[in-house]
Amino acid sequence: MGSIFKRIVLAFLLGLLAACAQLPSLEERSVSSAYTDTADTRLGRAIQPLAAGHPGKSGVSPLARGGDAFAARALMAQAAEKSIDIQNYIWHDDMAGTLLFDALVDAADRGVRVRLLLDDNNTVGMDEVLAALDSHANIELRLFNPFMYRGWRWVGYLTDFDRLNRRMHNKSYTVDNQATIIGGRNVGDEYFGASEEFLFIDLDVLAVGPVVKDVSRDFDRYWKSASAYPASLILAPAASDGLGQLKAKAEQIKREPRAEGYVEAMNELPIVRQLLDGSIELEWAVTRMVSDDPSKGLGQAQEHEMLPKRLGRIFGVPEHDLFMVSSYFVPTRDGVDYLTTLARDGVAITILTNSLEATDVAAVHAGYAKRRKPLLEAGIELYEFKKESSTAPLRDRGLTGSSASSLHAKTLSVDGERIFIGSFNFDPRSARLNTEIGFVIDSPRLAQRLPQAIEKQAADIAYRVRLDDSGRLVWVEKRDGRSIVHTVEPGASLWRRMSVWLLSHLPIEWLL
């Protein structure tokens, strides 16, 4: 009887929690769309003549350095006259995040309409600042798949796991419906090369031309989706001086020595100034935006609509070479079969992902580690990014010179003709659970330049994983002109290696 009683009580409590956590109705949610009458803005007047000279194509420019990626966002906010639409997975309340929040408030003070759509998975401790932003007359904030239990989020997973396990991983930053930034970066010091302890190596692309309208339409689709909740329905009301506190925090940060790198990056980055005066050099190419249907956030998207299938239709079957960069690479059994078949058909495949010492999610590494051997046996080249490197050219030392780094970029180059840059990791989570976005750019120049640059630098930035004569995994490191062969995963403790081994035997691959 005691056991039955406990189960009844537990069921009652869970039911009560679920009832208390009902999501609010969206019937009274405001309706808005991207502005289309923006040709007369500063950006519009500068970009329209450039785009007219390249009909059917968009102008793109990669943003590889973290400092440049931050400066581009801040300067575009300064140039905004009508609208800023932003979609992001993570926005930290740190130095970079506060400075960009401040830039949005400044734009809103000028009369610019700001729409900010954030995934709610990483907003812990930020309710007050988010409510303050939402209190501005020209800023509207929405949260994707929000948690109703703001303090004890784990309770939400107990009662609503299927929804809360699905996140909006998209990143887009669009100003005046004329220029946009798409890529892998979240907002935070470590994503812009400014963390004193750790940084991510990432890749964004600035774009102008017809693809910007596609991004704006896609933003509208997410903005009005059934997963996007006005912050005012989720968060407690803002403090009366919330915006003032945000402004004071930003002003204090600007006076600190650690912010000098951000100021210098904004002063030194010419791309936005060149964009406004029409002197910018862009790669003009047919550029397609690909994104998941936001209904994927509720588990309602059809498989043929998901990004892997769409990318497959666009790229087709590689004929000569495939170059992949993915911070989280979990190929699964089906992925291994596909890649090894390509390799045995003569396609040269190179994959760069994080080493165990560099990854920030050991569980994801477990899903990759158990698949390495068959990939190598098929002749696929595997490189694993080092956590530390004395000369790593991909690392952005422009702001603080952090000593530890992790790969966060997501890009795919096929046959030296097309390249994908976006938020999509090549893992089951990106494929089936999270929503994602990116560009497919028909540019042989870009599709060849990135692989060539990374392959040239691979010895400095990564371990090459190989099989020795006995068929065992080894990691080859180049250091001071000599080769060092590691027989266990370099830079990782015994405990970390054992944890990965254990995780690799658990049935969690679908979550990774």
C-alpha dihedral sign at 269, 273, 275, 281: negative
CA–CA separation, 501 vs 331, rounded Å?
17
Task: Copy the structure tokens of residue 79.
Answer: 């140039």
Known catalytic membership, residue 213 = no
Known catalytic membership, residue 415 = yes
Name residue, tokens 């006076």.
255
Residues belonging to the chain: 512
Cβ–Cβ under 8 Å, residues 284 and 51: no
Known catalytic membership, residue 365 = no
CA distances from 227 to 146, 164, 167, 230, 296 (A): 8, 10, 10, 10, 10
CA–CA separation, 380 vs 384, rounded Å?
13
Task: Copy the structure tokens of residue 354.
Answer: 């994080």
3-state secondary structure 124-169: CCCHHHHHHHHCCCCEEEEEECCCCCCCCHHHHHHHHHHHHCCCEC
Known catalytic membership, residue 486 = no
Tally Cβ neighbours within 10 Å of residue 31.
7
Q: Which spans in 185-296 are helix H?
A: 210-223, 231-234, 242-255, 260-268, 271-277
Cβ–Cβ under 8 Å, residues 187 and 95: no
Active-site residue (options: 82, 92, 365, 410): 410
List the one residue out of 231, 264, 208 whose CA is nearest residue 399.
Answer: 264
CA–CA separation, 138 vs 141, rounded Å?
10
Active-site residue (options: 176, 189, 204, 214): 176
Q: Which helix (H) or strand (E) holds 419?
A: strand 418-422
On the CB side of 343, how many CA atoms lie within 13 Å of its CA?
19
Q: Which spans in 378-470 are helix H?
A: 428, 444-461
CA–CA separation, 271 vs 181, rounded Å?
13
Known catalytic membership, residue 410 = yes
Active-site residue (options: 169, 247, 296, 365): 169
Cβ–Cβ under 8 Å, residues 400 and 195: yes
DSSP designation for 278: T
Known catalytic membership, residue 136 = no
Helix (H, G, I), strand (E, B) or coil at 296: helix
Residues 6+ apart with CB under 8 A from 366: 499, 500, 501, 502, 503, 504, 512
Q: Which helix (H) or strand (E) holds 192?
A: none
Active site residues: 169, 171, 176, 408, 410, 415
